[in-house]
Amino acid sequence: MENKVQLKINNLRKRFGTEVVLDGINLTVNKGEVVVVLGPSGCGKSTLLRCMNGLEAISEGEILLDGEKITAGSKEITKLRQKIGMVFQSYDLFPHKNILDNVTLAPIKVQKIPRKEAEERAEKLLRRVGLWKKRKAFPRELSGGQKQRAAIVRALCMNPEVMLFDEVTAALDPQMVREVLNVMLELAEGGMTMVIVTHEMQFARAVADKIIFLEKGKITEEAEPEEFFTNPKTETAKEFLQSFVYEKHKIQ
């Protein structure tokens, strides 16, 4: 893997009012690297992702994508966002458009590519996730897993350089989690740079090149997955990992 820096975060601080949500985050994501962000709920994981594509304005520090500064509300932000795909927990497909139109809307309107070309792109991607047959269906006619796969395709259709995933399986039934995670694994294998927030530990372990553990707005651990899962350094990380292990006799 080449070691070109794709995304760099320097001393990022984010406050909501007086509450500090992110406190001095430093993070480097290399091209093709998959970073998984773990941490207890409310630790700022989602906010961190939303800062990365300028959906949240940051209070201090800087975020650089290919050396270009990401600033919420700036003129360049729409240009930069085209390089960063984001997928949300609640899918958020556009309910008034069918799947194909959901996927091709941004390439046509934002990147201004011809409809035909956008649809060819979309076909390739939709076939890859097994949704080409559903292209004329509306979001309400799909299952949660199908919706989430469509949402991933919608982001991919912009040919982004980085993909951000914000707990994309958290709202899904267990049997649908798999189909979505498979798509993400495949993407990772294809060399996509990804930052993933998830609560699927097995998946995190399998997909990550690097695990970031976030606690009260600070990165308290940064490690390779094997190391993090077998030998976490901080107490909180240990407890956090323990909370996913069920042992009958321990429950009182």
Partner 1 sequence: MQDSGINVLFMGSNFLRLLEGLCVTLRISLISVILSIPLGIFFGIFMTLKNPFSKAISRIYLEFIRIMPQLVLLFIAYFGVTRAFGWSLSADVSATVVFVLWGTAEMGDLVRGALISIPKNQYDSAFALGMTKAQTFIHIVVPQTFRRLIPLTINLTTRMIKTTSLVVLIGITEVLKVGKQIIDANRFEYPSAALWVYGVIFLLYFLACWPISVMAKKLEKRWG
Q: Tell whether residue 211 is a contact of partner 1 (CB under 8 A).
A: no
| Interface stretch with partner 1, choices 93-101, 189-197, 217-225, 244-252 (CB under 8 A) | 93-101
Least separation in angstroms between CB 38 and partner 1: 22
Q: Does 112 bind partner 1 (CB under 8 A)?
A: no
Dihedral pair phi/psi, residue 200, rounded to 5° = -90, 95
- Interacting stretch for partner 1, rule CB under 8 A, among 59-67, 78-86, 188-196, 217-225? 78-86
Closer to partner 1 by CB, 45 or 154: give it.
Answer: 154
Query: CA 169 from chain center: how many Å?
Result: 11
Residue 225 in the binding site for partner 1 (CB under 8 A): no
Quick one: DSSP state of residue 70?
A: P
Q: Does the protein bind partner 1 through residue 95 (CB under 8 A)?
A: yes
Which CB atom, from 84 or from 188, has the smaller least distance to partner 1?
A: 84
CA distance linking residue 245 with residue 241, whole number of Å: 7
- Could you give phi then psi for residue 240, rounded to 5 degrees? -60, -50
53 lies in the binding site for partner 1 (CB under 8 A):
yes
Minimal CA–CA distance to 122: which of 138, 104, 139? 104
User: Three-state DSSP class for 172?
Assistant: coil
Among the listed ranges 27-35, 104-112, 141-149, 214-222, the one in contact with partner 1 (CB under 8 A) is: 104-112
Strands of the chain (E only): list them: 5-16, 19-30, 34-38, 60-65, 68-69, 84-87, 162-166, 193-197, 210-215, 218-223
Of the candidates 185, 104, 96, 187, the one whose C-alpha atom is nearest the C-alpha of residue 139 is 96
Does 134 help bind partner 1 (rule: CB under 8 A)? no
57 binds partner 1 (CB under 8 A): no
Looking at 39, 44, 85, 225, which residue binds partner 1 (CB under 8 A)?
Answer: 85
- The residues that touch partner 1, with contacts defined as CB under 8 A, are 53, 55, 78-79, 81-82, 84-86, 88, 90, 92-96, 105-106, 109-111, 151, 154-155, 158
